């Protein structure tokens, strides 16, 4: 059983960004041809950002996440956050079962650094408190 005060909760999410090349769709009848309320703006290809965070850090990058990028995020952000928050005391790192988290290079990286990982059931409802942040 985990002592919840010793868990470093983390998660990442894709965020759609509504900027870039905007297009116009015309939705009108003959009678409405000059009515501005019949024009609807739309984004052809919205940009997206990936956001990773733990209870004390947030990191944003463009594109999708893969195991190599995930390890970079852990090195640059999770390790310093863990040092700051737990100051050498034992802790358990939580992440879900996303492919970059369960990739063999990620699990090897975590094992080499002796980072304990909270077992997380596959396809489970996300009960992590960071989901509310």
What residues contact 117, with CB distance under 8 A and at least 6 apart?
92, 93, 94, 95, 110
What is d(CA 53, CA 18) in angstroms, rounded to the nearest whole number?
Answer: 22
> What pLDDT was estimated at residue 24?
43
Question: Mean pLDDT throughout 101-115?
Answer: 96
What is d(CA 127, CA 26) in angstroms, rounded to the nearest whole number?
Answer: 43
Residue 11 has pLDDT above 60, yes or no: yes
> What pLDDT was estimated at residue 5?
78
Task: Write down all domains in the chain, each with its CATH number in brackets.
Answer: 4-18+51-125 (3.30.420.10)
Name the β-bridge partners of 85: none
Whether this model's pTM surpasses 0.95: no
Q: Is residue 89 exposed (0-12), middle (13-18) or buried (19+ Cβ within 10 Å)?
A: exposed
Q: Could you read off the pLDDT of 57-82 as tens digits, one per residue?
A: 777 777 888 999 999 999 999 999 99
């Amino acid at each position: 059983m985990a002592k919840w005060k010793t868990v470093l909760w983390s998660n990442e999410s894709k965020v759609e960004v509504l900027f870039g090349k905007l297009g116009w769709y015309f939705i009108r009848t003959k009678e409405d041809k000059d009515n501005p309320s019949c024009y609807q703006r739309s984004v052809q290809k919205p940009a997206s950002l990936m956001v990773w965070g733990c209870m004390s850090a947030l990191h944003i990058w463009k594109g999708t996440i893969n195991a190599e990028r995930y390890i970079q995020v852990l090195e640059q952000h999770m390790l310093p956050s863990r040092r700051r928050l737990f100051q050498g005391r034992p802790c358990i790192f939580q992440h879900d079962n996303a492919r970059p988290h369960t990739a063999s290079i990620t699990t090897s990286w975590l094992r080499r650094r002796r980072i304990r990982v909270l077992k997380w059931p596959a396809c489970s409802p996300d009960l992590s408190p960071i989901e509310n942040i």
